[in-house]
Amino acid sequence: MTSPANHLPSPVHTALQEGILVVRIDNPPVNALNAAVRAGLQAAVQQAQSDASVRAVLLVGVGRAFIAGADIREFGKPPQEPLLPGVCNQIEALDKPVVASINGPALGGGLEVAMAAHYRVATPHSKLGLPEVTLGLLPGAGGTQRAPRLMGAMAAAELMLSGKHLSADAAHKAGLLDAVASGADAVDNGLAFVRDLLARNAPVRRTRDQAISDAATAPAALDQLAADTAARNKGLFSPAKIIDCVRAALRMPFDEGLAFERARFVECLDSPQRAGLIHAFFAEREVAKIPEASAAQPRPLQTIGVIGGGTMGAGITVAALDAGLQVTMVERDADSIARGRTNVEKVYNSLVDRQRMTAQAREAVLARLTLSTDYDDLKDVDLVIEAVFEDLGVKKEVFAQLDRICKSGAVLATNTSYLDIDAIAAVTRRPSDVIGLHFFSPANIMRLLEIVVAERTSAEVVATAFELARKMKKVPVRAGVCDGFIGNRILATYRQAADYLMEDGASPYDIDKAVRDFGYPMGPYQMMDLTGGDIGWATRKRKALTRDPKTRYVEISDRICERGWFGQKTGRGYYVYAQGVRGGQPDPEVAQIVDAERARKGVTPRAFSADDIMRRYMAAMVNEGAKVLEEGVALRPLDIDATFIFGYGFPRWRGGPMFWADAYGLPNVLADIEAFAKEDALFWQPAPLLQKLVAEGRGFASLNTLK
Ligand code: T1G
Ligand code: NAD
């Protein structure tokens, strides 16, 4: 059978077996419901309806998934018939039992197809969910009307708002499944289930006809959920629409509810957040597609060494243990290694305390950890990650030792935030085995891993680093060597723009508020207080020796640090952190310091609106991003987007700074920079790449495909 959409062979195959029409959906890698699949499903239903020898229908997915949802790549393009809501209604309307036999992911439209079927069975490792909210959407093929009828309105609302994937057991308990089969083969499981149905002459059971179990209590509970959701998902568009649809399911007849859902779905589709979130979805995956991945195979990776058991060393150790690896942590002395052990155990103890891990599981994980003060214990490891003090001399010493001790073929990595990795590699006889693995604090939580490829790093070592990231479920971004790589370099630039705003008249608290209202969890001065003002101060002092005297330098943060006010860790920074009070309070003494610095510099403060603040903040970020691109430090704009979404709190629904810039309009970004350059031409130098793209009428998106 060919598909009407494109006359290519249909990705949906049917075969009659014992009077059961087995419908196989075969659209690798995850059987996404593109136009051809939808057409194939529709044709299968029509075949089942018209063929009297068909007594029942069995839907299965070929490969590692049932159906992972609508084809996300189709969103934003003109819709192609048949549309999924209609296909689901046709499946449900069939007057012969339809069984969905699930293996692997049944997500979004995939679960909607299964809920339109009359019965559902799944293999034990299947995952069921309605994660459309993570794409700025809602279940648009009946999911908001059928899920409440299968699992209750509140449970359905929570599933859709969380975007979480349920295990087969949890889905069964929730009412989404009729059975969890023991077998791993979906066809066998399905055939056995259908045979039993036919033997019992089981009726067609349409989900639309099911009553909603908590219809009496749900309306009031939904009010509370709506309030919590609005507070939790500040600025997000689709969560409120999901709740409106569940309300409709409680109030309206099924088909009216479907129409209501459709209208809300189209509103989400048209929201710019959908485009930003879908860009983030694909950016998260595209970053792993790097030139070295096709040029080399990763080396074996079972045993890891971690040098330093401080903030980062301990977090990296936990990330490696969670990835199932053997870890040897090495510290300077007995006290330090004891501290390292405590830092690691603290993480697992709190998981056990919160019943998110059993004591046995903790012991099993910690059994894979070796603690040492002897570098010789690293002689057989596959990869070492150094996380000692941010001092070039100390790091060079460590790498010289590793070069002497580690086996040939071991990967030698540094977690430095800023230092020159080529200089570190140069103290070894194997610079091709040296690479930067820049984790973000807390390293066992933050998903971003900047993989810094030094001048001599081999393709095999890069591939091995990306394999480590895959094992640790990190989002790996390939970066070149420069001061601060991709993230910290761009961070330093927009932080500078924020400091200029502060010295010119904006209060640090207004700047933080503008950045929060833009969608960040916190502003730059709150972030400085969280990570510790002393770290930035040390960096500024280190850079003072080489700073261009013509560059404008704001000393307000120095004044604050000179008082020992390093932020949360000292109870005071830009904000005051009173015992028992959530979050920091603006500090009038900081405002006095700011005023004094303005007076000392002869600056007459002026007013800046939130829009003025964000135009400068974003212009600095995007302009430096363009420089990072043209220097080849980042491969593609999407690498910068992923860096800031997964490592610096950039609001995911805006798609990242470079994606945001395309939406805002590169000519507008350039115009802003040229306007600001009238005040400070040295800082506001437009990136040649930005000027080129504007001149050619192109966006950053045009650079997202690797040559
Ligand atoms: N559409 C298109 N491509 C998809 C896709 C999808 N739904 N899901 C995955 N891919 C691609 C992905 O880009 C990658 O491509 C490859 O498949 C493997 O994915 C009407 C509106 C299923 C749990 O949100 O969560 O249905 O990089 O690397 O880690 O109501 O993919 O190899 O070229 O992620 O094993 C709702 C999204 C859609 C699920 C597998 N569905 N997918 O994870 O592999 S909206 C989702 C996932 C919808 C309806 C609505 C995961 C996965 P490439 P992968 P994985
Ligand atoms: P930290 O001070 O918390 O820990 C450093 C540890 O290294 C200490 O426990 C110290 O005893 C140990 N150490 C020092 N010299 C050693 C040696 N020769 N052999 C063995 N152990 C030694 O510092 P941190 O915050 O964990 O930072 C470590 C590295 O990670 C730095 O390069 C830093 O720039 C980088 N980094 C830090 C962060 C962050 O947010 N803290 C984020 C990313 C990267």
Q: What is the pLDDT of residues 652-680, one digit of tens each?
A: 999 999 999 999 999 999 999 999 999 99
**Nearest alpha carbon, ligand 1 atom 37:** 68
Closest residue by Cα to atom 1, ligand 2, is 310
Residue 183 has pLDDT above 90, yes or no: yes
104 lines ligand 2 (CB under 6 A): no
pLDDT over 70 (residue 265) = yes
Helical (H) or strand (E) element with 557: helix 556-562
Residue 292 annotated in active site: no
674 classed as catalytic: no
Phi and psi torsions of 138, nearest 5°: -140, 165
CB neighbour burial string for 186-199, b if at least 16 within 10 angstroms, e if fewer: bbebbbbbbeebbe
Residue 539 has pLDDT above 90, yes or no: no
Is the minimum distance from the CB of 242 to ligand 1 under 6 angstroms? no
Per-residue pLDDT at 234: 78
Mean pLDDT of the chain: 96
The rounded Å distance from CA 451 to ligand 2 centre is 18
Single out the residue of 502, 476, 497 nearest to residue 487, CA to CA.
Answer: 476
Q: Whose CA is nearest to atom 10 of ligand 1?
A: 30
344 Cα–ligand 2 center, Å: 14
Global confidence as pTM:
0.96
Q: For residue 280, how far is its CA from the centre of ligand 1 (angstroms)?
A: 12
Percent of the chain having pLDDT more than 70?
99
Distance CA(40)–CA(657), nearest Å, equals 40
Phi, psi of 234 (to 5 degrees): -50, 125
Whole-number pLDDT of residue 296: 94
CA-proximal residue: ligand 1, atom 53 (nearest): 285
Which of 306, 307, 312 is the best mutation target for the ligand 2 pocket, counting ligand atoms within 8 Å of the beta carbon and taking the most? 312
Which is catalytic among the residues 18, 74, 92, 132? Answer: 132
Q: How far is the CA of 313 from the centre of ligand 2 (A)?
A: 7
> CA 401, 404, 405, 407 torsion: positive or negative?
positive
pLDDT value, residue 579: 81
Catalytic residue among 74, 92, 112, 624: 112
What is the per-residue pLDDT for 1? Answer: 47
Q: Is the CB of 107 under 6 A from ligand 1?
A: yes
Whether ligand 1 lies within 6 angstroms of the CB of 139 is answered as yes
Ligand 2 contact, 394 CB (< 6 A):
yes
How is residue 117 written in tokens?
């079927």
Residues 132 and 238: beta-carbon distance below 8 Å: yes
Nearest C-alpha to atom 9 of ligand 1 is from which residue?
30
- Regarding the beta carbon of 140 and ligand 1, being less than 6 Å apart is answered yes
Q: How confident is the model over 497-514, as pLDDT tens digits? A: 999 999 999 999 999 999
| Per-residue model confidence as pLDDT tens digits over 575-623 | 999 887 778 999 999 999 999 999 999 999 999 999 999 999 999 999 9
Question: Ligand 1 in contact with 280 (CB < 6 A)?
Answer: no
Between CA 114 and CA 122 the distance in angstroms is 10
Cβ of 285 less than 6 Å from ligand 1: yes
Stretch 75-89: mean pLDDT: 96
> Counting ligands in written order, which one lies closest to the CA of residue 262?
1
Instruction: Find out whether the beta carbon of 307 lies less than 6 Å from any atom of ligand 2.
Output: yes
Write b or e for each residue in 622-633: b if 16 or more Cβ atoms lie within 10 A of its Cβ, otherwise e: bbbbbbbbeeeb
Return the H-helix or E-strand segment holding 272: helix 272-286
The reported pLDDT for the residue numbered 6 is 55
The three-state secondary structure class of 570 is helix
- Cα pseudo-dihedral 161, 164, 170, 176, rounded to 10: 60
For residue 75, which atom of ligand 1 is closest to its CA? 21
Summarize the confidence of residues 147-169 as an average pLDDT.
98
71 lines ligand 1 (CB under 6 A): yes
In order of 17, 63, 535, 536, the CA distances from 417 in angstroms are 61, 42, 11, 11
Q: What's residue 7's pLDDT?
A: 58
Task: Name 385's bridge partners.
Answer: 306, 413
The minimum-distance atom of ligand 2 relative to the CA of 312 is 26
Q: Tell the residue nearest (CA) to atom 36 of ligand 2.
A: 417
